[in-house]
Amino acid sequence: MPKVPATALALSASMFFTSLTFAQTVPAGYPASYAATIAAAVKEGTLVIYSTTDSKAVEPLIRDFRAEYPGITVEYNDMNSTEIYNRFLSEQAAGGASADLTWSSAMDLQMKLVHDGGALQYKTPEATHIPAWANWKDMAYGTTFEPAAFVYNKRLVSDAEVPQTHAELAKLVTDKPEKFGKKVTAFDIEKSGVGYMYITQDAKANPDFWNFARSVQHAGLRVQSSVGIMLERIASGEQLIGFNLHGSYAYARAKKDPSIGVVIPKDYVLVMSRVIFISKGARHPNAAKLWLDYTLSKRGQSVIANQAELYSLRTDVEGESTAAALARLRPGVLKPIPLNEELLGNLDQKRRLDFFKQWKEAAVK
């Protein structure tokens, strides 16, 4: 029997154990060929993400992802939705380094980037486990199921004053200007991509929207680009109530801060989903695929719901912060914002400027 060199034996053993490691890492139900994607991702070694999700909220996801794929370093960049959009565009135009993957709550801006050719088409093995409305042409995927909420100061707003519908909020601030004047807050729709998306979806969902717009603006609406700042100001009493705040962030804050109260409206509930896509020019495309798949997997969605508290999109995930729990709380009034071309309509420059003009005119008594 011919003698095999020790170096060849060592190499063969190394290849065997490496192959075995990758095979063991392939998630259940994924094709065996996924091992090659994992191997390529580990070789890339890095993943660059641009995201609107607060770094603190995403820490459990990054930690669990690294536990699953310890060979990959995650470079996570937390930015405003408009900043992500502009930075991604400029970097793509310059042909320089950019994000491998973007993950943003501004669904319309994400769709615009994808529609204009910025995304890599990739069919995730998790596609059958998410709603059809959360997948656009295997390029853009929704990852969460987050309600737009009213948030108020529990110390300064009585139980009898807490609004349960948009009409009640409008009536409250109109009837009590001495208390709520200049004490209502929301996103700055000209500076915040997600704020503009929310308000245009409100206009679509609420038949009395412009009366609502007049009421909150006549009350002296105070606007911000950051949910965190709005929550801080409501907690301090500088502001008393806010609308169209991310329910996920609000509930997380309320668990630690007894001054924060949260209402999921009873008339209709806009549901936002953070949209993720892999850059067509990604330098680490395989690592990006792993993150996208992990985020949509039952494991990742369980972390999203029960640790990041961002609300799971999947119906097979249990916990308070899930689509299933929200459906039980507000049956029949949830309005998920679907990923489709309609989102692009409000980004038309003329339509956008016309909306801003009408919004400002509504503030004039």
Domains plus CATH for the chain? 16-143+273-329 (3.40.190.10), 146-272+344-362 (3.40.190.10)
Q: pLDDT band for position 363 (50/70/90)?
A: confident
pTM of the model: 0.88
- The CA distance from 347 to 361, in Å, is 20
Predicted confidence (pLDDT) at residue 197 exceeds the cutoff of 70: yes
Q: pLDDT band for position 1 (50/70/90)?
A: very low
The continuous run of DSSP H or E covering 186 comes out as strand 184-187
Tell me which amino acid residue 59 is. Answer: E
- The CA distance from 152 to 262, in Å, is 6
Q: pLDDT band for position 14 (50/70/90)?
A: very low
- The CA distance from 231 to 225, in Å, is 12
At 21 the pLDDT is 42
Question: Tens digits of per-residue pLDDT, 70-122?
Answer: 999 999 999 989 999 999 999 999 988 899 999 999 999 999 999 999 999 99
The continuous run of DSSP H or E covering 50 comes out as strand 46-51
Question: Tens digits of per-residue pLDDT, 170-196?
Answer: 999 999 999 999 999 999 999 998 999
- The CA distance from 133 to 325, in Å, is 19
Q: Are 92 and 65 in contact (CB under 8 A)?
A: no
